[in-house]
Amino acid sequence: MVFSSLIFTFLFLPAVILFYGIAPRFLKNYILFAASILFYAYGEPRFVFIMLGSVIINYLTGLGIGYTRNRILKRVLMILSVIIDIGILFIYKYLNFFTGREIIHSGLPIGISFYTFQILSYVIDVYTGRVKAQKNLFTLALYISFFPQLIAGPIVRYTDIEKQIMTDRKVTIDDFGDGALRYTQGFLKKVLIANNVSLIAEKVFTGTDMGSAALWVGAMAYAVQIYFDFSGYSDMAIGLGRMFGFRFRENFNLPYTASSITDFWRRWHISLSSWFRDYVYIPLGGSRVSAPRHILNLFIVWSLTGLWHGANYTFIAWGFSYFVLLTLEKYLIRPEKRGTVFSVFYRIFTLVCVLLLWVVFNSPSLGFAGSYITGMFGIGRAWQFAEALSLVRGKMLYLVCGLLLSTGLPQDIFAKLQRLRISRYLEPFVITASAAVLMIWAVSFLAVGTHNPFIYFNF
């Protein structure tokens, strides 16, 4: 089940809100846990037991780590838990890739990369003393399985929501309204923009002998698709959490406005980049080591980041490319020390690099990626502008809106309008009316069975 579906929006979610609202205080977490298991089982019932098994194992090891005074035993339990968690992830996601044979036939458990990282952060934080071991199994299970962030993040730290789970959460009308509006915002980003521009991207990436102009259009369409697909899902998750009294951290911050590659990764998939920073990069020594060791640390982090996204050489190359760019940026380019003219140029350079690497990310093979990228620069391809225009016919509005919203310009204009006195009276009406109209428009796409893919559903 995905958030951008009719069954979730008009059946599952209203039912959960109803039962949660009428349930007595002591039952609310159990209602959310039951709903989360039902949510996950709807799409992958056979994989529920793998997730629950992971919860039980880490619950027991967490208790052991938290309550033993023997440092060696603490360390052994932590390492054992990490090995089991990574082992399960490796078996289902990477075993076939590394052995070159199809040993696992059951497919990839939905969201396993996300909930595995949440489990790991909990166990490691218990070991380091950042949090106390959770005594209530169902409370820990709710943290891992909570449906808003279960299958596609953001990756939520236990340290961030421990008090929200344990204490009596109060959801005001304003909280619920803000959460519903944020969910609607994400729904619109996903259904209206991501779904529609995905049709352009898929035509180009599955087509043959496309001209250079069409390849650039396809790359831009995919960049818009993956951003609005994933950030839209994160918006929905954050909004849903707010509706039930949880506050999740932001996961995106206008990444395509980044001033550098480093800045891009401060803005894109923030929960993942911060997870690797805190649990891999800093424990390795971070940047407070010699230059060769720092470069090695970057290599390890970005090799793991590439692999996290999938078992394919394209993801490995994608991660390695970011390692190279970040190393050059840190030791050679140093954009923060340059002038204004260079900064403008480097922003463009950053955006082009991100765009080209999305081609690698979305390619079935490295050969395909190489042919696509060389073709973008006219090597072996004609430009054929008419072909590019025909690709966006009927979808131009969604692509242009996606590009404009990616710049943050509409948000800036809206912020300025909010400072006008007249907007204080019109704002609630305008926002509510606009959201309602756009929501009806988006639902109409789903009602006729329109294209509704989700990229990060496979991670």
Catalytic residue IDs: 309
- Helices 212-243, 396-407: inter-axial angle, 10-degree rounding: 60
Angstrom CA distances, 131 to 60, 111, 118, 239, 280, stand at: 15, 24, 14, 26, 19
Q: What does the block give as tokens for 237?
A: 């998750």
From CA 140, how far away is CA 119, in angstroms rounded?
A: 9
Task: Give the type of residue at 380.
Answer: G
Q: Which residues contact 214 (CB under 8 A, 6 or more apart)?
A: 204, 207, 384, 387, 388, 391
Other beta carbons within 10 Å of 130 = 14
Angstrom CA distances, 290 to 56, 113, 293, 296, 297, stand at: 41, 32, 5, 10, 10
Q: Which residues contact 63 (CB under 8 A, 6 or more apart)?
A: 133, 135
Please write down the HEC assignment for all residues of 79-107.
HHHHHHHHHHHHHHHCHHHHHCCCCCCCC
Q: What does the block give as tokens for 12?
A: 């599952």
